[in-house]
């Protein structure tokens, strides 16, 4: 109890303020927006299933492992499916990640780096969005940080306790998202590569590391077998397919790190990061000119980190750890996307973003020039804070609740609602409570015959268009206007609602 009390007392007071800020940003207006498509998918996957069924059946019908869904199942059974309540676990995971990134930054460098990393993560819109979503990404970020934190602990003191802690965190990570396998790959690249960094000792002794990887592999084997089965299925189609992911383009890849700063304006985010990198490089070049070995160690370029717990990582090993962490989690999915099948999605690389935030914290701290340090900090503050007013004042996802409310209020019995993509009928139906109005799913490329058949014997047609190509939208309008009048068009965030009043109803 005394040791725990001492640890709590040693926490900088500033961390409490940062955590409070992170909690406020993640809890504010948590239930304001309607569910978006993937959130509805999360709820549908756990609805009507028992916990064992979630653990066994869901991996066979969804591309993600079952840990988050199991948590969501237990949570919704207790607290229901209102937006605020189902998003609360993600918000709590997001706040916990701020605490863990502080601990990781403090162990890798010092408390100031920990605080700076925590502050960056606290205001990062990329992470806030995931912390306000009924999906697994904030849990993925938390467990990625926890896995790397335990890896550093294994480096410091490779005991059974730290190895077991690392293995447990990593197994949970693997059961949270398929891209966790790239996290494990990055860690192995670092551990194996550390033997060739020129230091007197490897970062992690071979036997404890091998034991941890065997434990992780055996525990994760059931999910890995399911994942391999999905990967080998013909064409990647079906419910677990990834055919919706576009081919990665060079601009899209280059803007990855900008997305971590501002998801809606990645160009501005990229420019901010380049500016910060330039200032840090200039300062580094200036200071290295007359630097002694003592000042190099103080800057983190040599010697072990002053953790007070063990040997720690040298400056070269810290750079290698962050480099492999970020590099592998971005480069390997890009390579697979080009060589095998597209799998590269920004939100799937949230684990890499955690490494970037630690690196930014270290970059600010390690700038020796006070003037440049203030400039670097100011640039990052502006880059991360400027997107937040838009985030909190404008809807970020399609307004399915408002579309459903509009139709539910104005539709008459016998009307029909056409939704232009079958999967997008799920969020509409979640909010739509009318039994006397039919909801029919059509594709954006539906033929005129299919459209006429869907609306036959119905009154007014309400058409919800989302992601419909121009030729498909023209076909819908021409077909419906042939026997009805185009009475109204209402635009919502991400959606357009068309109303075609009944005219000649013989179609």
Q: DSSP labels for 399-417? A: -HHHHHHHHHHH--TT-EE
Burial 365-399 (b: 16+ CB within 10 A, else e): bbbeeeebbebbbebbeebbebbeeebeeeebbbb
Nearest-CA neighbor of 302 among 314, 320, 290, 312? 314
Which tens digit of pLDDT belongs to each residue from 392-424?
Answer: 998 888 899 999 999 999 999 999 999 998 888
304 by DSSP, 3-state: which? strand
pLDDT at residue number 335: 95
Nearest-CA neighbor of 86 among 65, 68, 62? 68
What mean pLDDT value characterizes the chain?
88
- Measure Cα distances from 201 to 101, 104, 296 in Å: 27, 22, 20
pLDDT tops 50 at residue 505: no
Percentage of the chain surpassing pLDDT 90? 65
pLDDT tops 70 at residue 303: no
pLDDT at residue number 201: 64
Number of CB atoms found within 10 A of residue 237's CB: 10
Question: What are the DSSP calls for 39-55, one per residue?
Answer: HHHHHHHHTT--HHHHH
pLDDT tops 90 at residue 277: no
- Measure Cα distances from 428 to 370, 436, 440, 468, 477 in Å: 54, 15, 11, 16, 21
Which tokens hold the place of 168?
């447990």
* 396 neighbors 262 (Cβ within 8 angstroms): no
- Measure Cα distances from 480 to 452, 463, 474, 496 in Å: 8, 10, 10, 16
List, in sequence order, the alpha helices (H) in 132-205. Answer: 137-156, 160-174, 180-193
Percentage of the chain surpassing pLDDT 70? 88
Per-residue pLDDT, averaged over 480-503, amounts to: 86
Number of CB atoms found within 10 A of residue 164's CB: 15
Instruction: Tell me the C-alpha distance between 80 and 84, whole Å.
Output: 10
Lowest-confidence range among 38-52, 121-135, 241-255, 280-294?
A: 280-294
* 448 neighbors 459 (Cβ within 8 angstroms): no
CA dihedral 9, 10, 12, 17 (to 10 degrees): -40
Give the angle subtended at the CA of 255 by the CAs of 112 and 36, to the nearest 5°. 90
Number of CB atoms found within 10 A of residue 186's CB: 27
pLDDT tops 90 at residue 166: yes
65 by DSSP, 3-state: which? coil
Cβ-in-10-Å burial (0-12, 13-18, 19+) of 142 comes to: buried
Question: How would CATH label the architecture of 400-502?
Answer: 3-Layer(aba) Sandwich (3.40)
- Measure Cα distances from 71 to 78, 146, 250, 297, 490 in Å: 11, 18, 37, 44, 38
Instruction: Give the pairing of strands 461-465 and 416-419.
Output: parallel
Instruction: Tell me the C-alpha distance between 141 and 260, whole Å.
Output: 13
Span(s) in the chain for CATH 3.40.50.150? 400-502
Phi and psi dihedrals of 464, rounded to 5?
A: -100, 110
Instruction: Tell me the C-alpha distance between 234 and 499, whole Å.
Output: 40
Give the angle subtended at the CA of 356 by the CAs of 253 and 258, to the nearest 5°. 40
pLDDT at residue number 76: 96
pLDDT at residue number 305: 46
Max mean pLDDT among 85-94, 248-257, 406-415 falls in 85-94
Return the sign of the alpha-carbon dihedral for residues 191, 195, 198, 203: positive
Which tokens hold the place of 338?
């080009």
Burial 197-229 (b: 16+ CB within 10 A, else e): eeeeebbbeeebbeebbebbeebbeebeebbee
Per-residue pLDDT, averaged over 142-169, amounts to: 95
pLDDT band, very low/low/confident/very high, at 503 (cuts 50, 70, 90): low
Beta strands in 293-391 (DSSP E): none
Of residues 236 and 19, the one with the higher pLDDT is 19
pLDDT band, very low/low/confident/very high, at 213 (cuts 50, 70, 90): very high
pLDDT band, very low/low/confident/very high, at 188 (cuts 50, 70, 90): very high
Instruction: Give the pairing of strands 438-441 and 484-492.
Output: unpaired
Lowest-confidence range among 18-22, 90-94, 135-139, 291-295?
A: 291-295
pLDDT at residue number 403: 94
pLDDT tops 80 at residue 242: no
- Tokens 């576009």 correspond to what residue? 246
- N-term to C-term CA, the chain: 78
pLDDT at residue number 64: 92
The whole model's pTM is what?
Answer: 0.91
Order of all β-strands in the sheet with 484-492: 438-441, 416-419, 461-465, 495-502, 484-492
């Amino acid at each position: 109890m005394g040791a725990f009390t001492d640890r709590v007392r040693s926490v900088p007071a500033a961390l409490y303020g940062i955590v409070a800020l992170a909690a406020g940003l993640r809890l504010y207006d948590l239930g304001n927006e309607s569910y978006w498509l993937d959130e509805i998918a999360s709820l549908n996957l756990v609805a009507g299933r028992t916990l064992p069924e979630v653990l066994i059946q869901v991996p066979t019908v969804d591309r993600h492992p079952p840990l988050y869904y199991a948590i969501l199942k237990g949570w919704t059974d207790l607290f229901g499916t209102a937006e605020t309540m189902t998003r609360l676990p993600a918000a709590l995971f997001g706040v916990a990640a701020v605490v863990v990134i502080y601990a990781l930054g403090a162990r890798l460098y010092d408390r100031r780096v920990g605080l700076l990393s925590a502050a960056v993560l606290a205001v990062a819109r990329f992470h806030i969005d995931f912390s306000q979503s009924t999906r697994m990404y904030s849990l993925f970020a938390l467990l990625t940080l926890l896995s790397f934190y335990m890896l550093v602990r294994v480096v410091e003191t490779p005991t059974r306790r730290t190895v077991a802690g690392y293995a447990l965190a990593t197994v949970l990570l693997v059961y949270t998202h398929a891209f966790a396998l790239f996290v494990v790959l990055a860690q192995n690249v670092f551990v194996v590569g550390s033997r060739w960094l020129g230091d007197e000792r490897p970062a992690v002794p071979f036997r404890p590391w091998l034991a941890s990887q065997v434990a992780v592999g055996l525990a994760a084997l059931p999910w890995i077998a399911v994942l391999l089965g999905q990967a080998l299925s013909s064409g990647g189609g079906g419910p677990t397919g990834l055919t919706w992911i576009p081919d990665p383009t060079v601009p899209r890849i280059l803007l990855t790190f900008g997305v971590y700063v501002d998801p809606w304006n990645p160009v501005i985010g990229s420019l901010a990061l380049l500016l910060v990198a330039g200032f840090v490089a200039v300062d580094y070049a200036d200071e290295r000119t007359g630097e002694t070995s003592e000042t190099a160690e103080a800057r983190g370029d040599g010697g072990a980190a002053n953790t007070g717990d063990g040997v720690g990582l040298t400056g070269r090993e810290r750079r290698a750890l962050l480099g492999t962490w970020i590099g592998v989690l971005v480069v390997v999915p890009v390579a697979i996307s080009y060589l095998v099948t597209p799998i590269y999605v920004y939100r799937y690389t949230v684990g890499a973003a955690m490494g970037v935030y630690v690196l930014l914290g270290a970059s600010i701290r390690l700038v020796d020039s006070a003037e440049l340090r203030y400039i670097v900090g100011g640039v990052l503050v502006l880059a991360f804070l400027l997107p937040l007013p838009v985030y909190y004042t404008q809807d970020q996802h399609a307004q399915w609740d408002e579309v459903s409310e509009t139709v539910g209020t104005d539709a008459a019995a016998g009307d029909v609602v056409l939704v232009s993509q079958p999967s997008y009928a799920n969020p509409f139906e979640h909010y739509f409570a009318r039994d006397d109005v039919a909801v029919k799913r059509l594709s954006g490329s539906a033929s005129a015959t299919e459209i006429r058949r869907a609306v036959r014997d119905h009154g007014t047609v309400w058409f919800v268009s989302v992601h419909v190509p121009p030729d498909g939208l023209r076909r819908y309008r021409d077909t419906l206007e042939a026997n009805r009048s185009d009475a109204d068009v209402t635009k919502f965030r991400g959606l357009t609602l068309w109303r075609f009043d009944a005219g000649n109803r013989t179609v």
